[in-house]
């Protein structure tokens, strides 16, 4: 996030690749001490998985840690993090294909990838969720999940280029699949 004066939050800070359990907090403390920006921890399961206990400790010990992007499919653990931080921080979903389930267990929102390509789908899911229109929320989430599947299957850069009407780097059946699923009626830009 940026303002006219520069960034307003330090976001997407990954855990160190091979950190031992006791070193995880130190990694984030070192980063937090180097800046006055609020810190958004990025929990993506690579080599190190941040547990609910890790996150509770990080939020207790680092005042500038304001939230977390949780990019894992283990929503039991996500709920455990929400319970342990008890409102001290915002937990944001990071899996676009699981946005609606994340909202149902308490995620405060989401930071995603395909949300940048299809913002209206995800805004629609969120609005339907907020008013309790579960049928509409599920319909839009299923459409979004299909979009994620196509992007993963055909490469997100090439897929994004085609969806946005840019010259594609590859030829294939991408647009045909999207039309089959009802994503657009005319040109790719008409989504």
Q: Residue 181's domain spans which residues?
A: 119-191
The yes-or-no answer on residue 143 being catalytic is: no
Same domain, 97 and 154: no
pLDDT tens digit sequence for 103-119: 999 999 999 888 888 88
More confident residue, 43 or 154: 43
Q: For residue 110, report the phi and psi dihedrals to the nearest 5 degrees.
A: -155, 150
Catalytic residue, chosen from 69, 70, 75, 154, is 69
The yes-or-no answer on residue 42 being catalytic is: yes
Q: Which spans in 8-74 are helix H?
A: 24-33, 52-61
pLDDT tens digit sequence for 122-178: 999 999 999 999 999 999 999 999 888 877 766 655 555 555 555 554 444 555 555
Asked whether the predicted pLDDT for residue 56 surpasses 70, the reply is yes
Domain end marker among 112, 132, 160 = 112
Same domain, 173 and 157: yes
Domain end marker among 60, 84, 112 = 112
Q: Does pTM top 0.75 for this prediction? A: no
Q: How confident is the model at residue 3 (pLDDT cuts 50, 70, 90)?
A: very low
Asked whether the predicted pLDDT for residue 16 surpasses 60, the reply is no
Same domain, 64 and 124: no
pLDDT tens digit sequence for 19-29: 555 666 778 88
Q: What is residue 7's three-state secondary structure?
A: strand
Measured CA distances, 11 to 15, 19, 41, 180, 183 (Å): 12, 20, 7, 37, 31
Same domain, 16 and 90: yes
Residue 97 belongs to a domain with what CATH number? 3.20.20.70
What is the per-residue pLDDT for 79?
95
What value does the mean pLDDT of the chain take? 78
């Amino acid at each position: 996030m940026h303002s006219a004066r520069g960034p307003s939050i330090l976001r997407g800070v990954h855990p160190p690749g091979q950190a031992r359990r006791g070193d995880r907090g130190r990694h984030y403390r070192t980063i937090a001490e180097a800046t006055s920006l609020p810190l958004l921890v990025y929990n993506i399961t690579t080599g190190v998985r941040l547990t609910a206990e890790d996150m509770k400790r990080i939020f207790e010990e680092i005042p500038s840690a304001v939230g977390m992007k949780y990019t894992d499919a283990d929503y039991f653990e996500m709920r455990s993090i929400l319970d342990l931080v008890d409102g001290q921080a915002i937990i944001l979903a990071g899996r676009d294909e699981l946005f609606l389930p994340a909202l149902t267990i308490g995620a405060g929102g989401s930071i995603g990838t395909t949300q940048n390509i299809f913002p209206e789908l995800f805004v629609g899911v969120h609005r339907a969720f907020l008013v309790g229109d579960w049928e509409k929320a599920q319909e839009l989430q299923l459409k979004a999940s299909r979009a994620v599947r196509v992007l993963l299957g055909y490469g997100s850069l090439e897929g994004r280029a085609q969806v946005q009407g840019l010259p594609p780097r590859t030829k294939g059946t991408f647009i045909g699949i999207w039309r089959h699923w009802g994503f657009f009626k005319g040109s790719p830009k008409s989504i």
